[in-house]
Structure 1
Amino acid sequence: MQSRLLNLPLSFCCLVGLALPVWAHARVEGTVPAAGAQLSVSPDRIEIRFTESIEPRLSDFKLFNAQEAAITLAREADDGDRRHMSASVPAPLTAGEYRVEWKALSEDGHPVSGEFGFTVSP
């Protein structure tokens, strides 16, 4: 009887451990350009890919130059893939450091946010 009582907490922990991935929030899986990239030419688009679906209408990102001035991007149409968001860079970026600041609403209803940077070299 005592061994059965000891197995009960162990079984519960195993079940909870298997369920944890279901409760995970969206995380960045990859970006274009890659975080920390040193580019010799301006990127023509910015893309963020997530590990799970996000709410596109409630998610966004912005591009800033080294002086913290926002750079206008042309958000690309929703292609039905709810695991990414992207935008075209309408004009070539000049040499310098850039930061992408993003926020997204995970499909599970939790807001997530972050940033990554890249550099355009002459």
Structure 2
Amino acid sequence: MRVSCAHVWWPMGAVWLRRLALALVLAVATAALLPWSPASAHATLLFTSPAVDGAVPDSPPLVQLVFDQPVVAGQTSLSVRSAGGESTRLGPVETGADASVVRARVLEELPAGEYRVEWQVVARDGDSMVGDFRFVIGSGSVLSPGGGGTETQGALSIGLLRWTLFAGFALALGGLVGDWLTRRTAPRSMAPEPWLKLGAGVALVSAVGLAVLVAGGRS
């Protein structure tokens, strides 16, 4: 009985080279679109002036927010409203030297009462954060029930796309290895090409979606 060794060695034909190139492209896309530096995390609000749920004796000269990392200048907004919903006149929104401080001057004298600050910033990784907090003016003023909060927009979608990109890359790489292993002992018709195609398709769609989100957040 004669045993053929035709499938023992790695096939280096054009089809195999295209698959290897596909795997390398997926690896590069993963490395390029998934930064692992600490700066990729969304910005976190550290301090505010006036303080969150705090009280000040007189009308504050400005509203200031301090974040744990720089935000994108020109894509920030601040607004102050009274308990009745009336808007307060503010100066231009400015950022500090390191872009981690966002501030706007109050252009009018505010009477005693409760006020709500609404803000929106965009982190360097493209995630958009919105939030609000309250403060009161006057020693006799008290806050009404309820509070503010912070919401991260885009982070969930980007996170899901990153995981599906990883899953697609894993399927493509697994199909690539499985194809090589199958070629050693089985005819070509039994090669696990569907897994390779599925993984490549999932990774491609995820990479495109992730690129659109990241580019949109940075534009």
TM-score (ref. length: structure 1): 0.77
Indicate whether 1:119 and 2:136 are aligned: yes
Q: Is contact 2:77–2:120 with CA below 8 Å preserved after alignment?
A: yes
State which of 55, 60, 78 in structure 2 corresponds to 1:43: 60
Higher mean alpha-carbon deviation, 87-96 vs 76-85, is at 76-85
The one-letter amino acid paired with 2:48 is T
Aligned length: 104
Higher mean alpha-carbon deviation, 60-69 vs 19-28, is at 19-28
2:89 maps to which residue? 72
Q: Distance in 2 between matches of 1:39 and 1:79?
A: 23
The one-letter amino acid paired with 2:74 is R
Pairwise CA distance, 1:81: 2.7
- State the structure with more CA Rg: 2
Q: Is contact 2:64–2:101 with CA below 8 Å preserved after alignment?
A: yes
State which of 18, 28, 51 in structure 2 corresponds to 1:34: 51
| Structure that is richer in helix per residue | 2
Q: Distance in 2 between matches of 1:20 and 1:55?
A: 17
Indicate whether 1:95 and 2:95 are aligned: no
Q: RMSD in angstroms over aligned alpha carbons?
A: 1.7
1:62 maps to which residue? 79
1:105 maps to which residue? 122
Pairwise CA distance, 1:23: 3.3
1:3 maps to which residue? none
Give aligned-pair identity as a percent: 28
| Structure that is richer in strand per residue | 1
Which residues in structure 2 correspond to 1:18-29 (within 5 Å)?
19=36, 21-29=38-46
2:100 maps to which residue? 83
Pairwise CA distance, 1:106: 0.4
Aligned in 2, Cα 1:23/1:77: closer, same or farther, shift over 3 Å? closer
Q: Is contact 2:57–2:138 with CA below 8 Å preserved after alignment?
A: yes
2:18 maps to which residue? none
TM-score (ref. length: structure 2): 0.44
Pairwise CA distance, 1:78: 4.5
